[in-house]
A and B are shown apart, each in its own frame.
Chain A
Amino acid sequence: MMRIWAWPVVLALLTAGGLAAGLVSDGLGDVAAWIGLGIPVAVCLGCSLRRRA
């Protein structure tokens, strides 16, 4: 259970936090949004472009 869901839950929380942060505050909130959305995007690119599984 933990093994399957740990990463998806972390990335889901990051995304949700990022989406909300940008909405409630400018400046720092925007930076938090870039990080919160940027990490899941980086994970997508990293895992799919990696040479060896």
Chain B
Amino acid sequence: MTAAAMRRWGWIHKWSSLVCTLFMLLLCLTGLPLIFSHEIDHLAGDGIHAPEMPADTPRASLDAVAQAAVAHYPSLVPLYFFAGEDDPNLWYVKLDTRVDTDESASRLVLVDARTAEVLGEPQFDSGFMSVMYRLHVDMYAGLPGKLFLGAMGLLLVTAIVSGVVLYAPFMRKLDFGTVRRQRATRTRWLDLHNLLGIVTVVWALVVGFTGVVNTWAELIFKAWQAEQVAALQAGATHTVLAPDAAGAAAADGSVQRAMERALLAAPGMKVDMIAFPGTLRSTPTHHAVLLSGDTPLTARLTQALLVDADNGEVLEASGRPWYVTVLQLSEPLHFGDYGGLPMKALWALLDLITIVVLGSGLYLWWRRGGQEAKP
């Protein structure tokens, strides 16, 4: 590498990191407890559980579940049902003042899927973990906060790439893994910075970039909704279950029936989410039913079916676009929640190593100017 090229890459590495480092330190520190949010909730006993009942207890209709949630918040309307991740006997019902709000003031109510009894409200919006979550996701600044952190994430990706380019010239005379302990403190930290940075580079790139993609989630869902509405208007949809399909109970205007018809159209799938017409995840005239399979990959890559609110026709409006696939894969790859507790522990260690890389980078800049920095 020529001296001029090296100066250029050095400049890119210095400034992309300097701008984002403090935010990245914040994200690493707040992300650490979030890796274990599930376990922490369990230990703290914050989770709300459905009471024990025989396994074959019949389930209440979704409409009764929605009614119970609305009775709990009479001034609000229901937007979504989310299936309980750990407990299939729970529905999380999300309510807001209108179906088309930005959901910043929305409320979640937990309802027993069998008795349609309100069990309580998950305390996502108070306490230590909620502060960690908000600082990590949007710094209490809503969509602009998310997009800002996403931009910082792009700078991190730039810093990582330029760091990889600079790795070779710095390592020309050194063996892999060398940490020159007998030399000056700055040299020792330079070696550690290079070593830890290069060993964790793929993980940091993946977690950094998938984090950026997650900040775009709302925009991605809006784009998908627009695409679905456009496909509907152009008549370019694919009917999975006709309104008068034999063997299927006819639509009666209920959400329950809409869900039943979607499940009939997609055998072997289970319901993850149901959206009322007019929300971000549906269209103005359809319920949306999000279904997932039972293999690790199809559990993440959901299938979205639209159910006509009037005649019950089940549609698939243009299959899942690539950018939604990217978003859905970005969630597990960012959270590290797909390989049990050992993977979470490794995620935490890699997070701590990243803190050392960030901190040592800051230190190297602060103590810059020494001749030892040159390779």
Tell me whether B343 and A24 are in contact (CB under 8 A).
no
Please give the residue numbers on chain A whose beta carbons come within 8 Å of chain B beta carbons, in ascending order.
3-8, 11-12, 15-16, 19, 22-26, 29-30, 33-34, 37-38, 40-41, 43-48, 50, 52-53
Closest to B349 in A: A41
Is B248's CB within 8 Å of the partner chain A? no
> Which chain B residues (198-229) contact chain A, with CB distance < 8 Å?
198-203, 206
Q: Determine if A37 and B343 form an interchain contact, defined as CB atoms under 8 angstroms apart.
A: yes
**Least CB distance, A39 to chain B, in whole angstroms:** 9
- B200 to A44, Cβ gap below 8 A? yes
Number of chain B residues whose Cβ lies closer than 8 Å to a Cβ of chain A: 38
Whether B242 is near chain A, meaning CB under 8 Å from some CB there, is no
Asked if A24 and B297 make an inter-chain contact with CB atoms under 8 angstroms apart, the answer reads yes
Within 8 A of A (CB), among B86-143: none
- Chain-A contact segment, one of B72-80, B279-287, B331-339: B331-339
The residue from A4, A7, A22, A52 contacting B172, defined by CB atoms under 8 A apart = A4
Contact B171 A4 (CB under 8 A): yes
CB of B346 within 8 A of CB of A37, answer: yes
Q: Does B167 contact A (CB under 8 A)?
A: yes
A47 to B339, CA, bound (A): 26
In whole angstroms, how far apart are the Cα atoms of A40 and B177 in the complex?
A: 12
Closest chain B CB from A22 CB (angstroms): 4
Contact at B168–A7, with CB atoms within 8 Å? no
Are A19 and B206 in contact, with the CB atoms below 8 A?
yes
Name the B residues within 8 Å of A38 (CB-CB).
342, 346
Cα–Cα distance between A38 and B228 once the two chains are bound (Å) = 42
Docked CA distance A17–B353 (Å): 20
Bound state CA distance, A33 and B349, in angstroms?
Answer: 14
Contacts of A7 in B (CB 8 A): 176-177
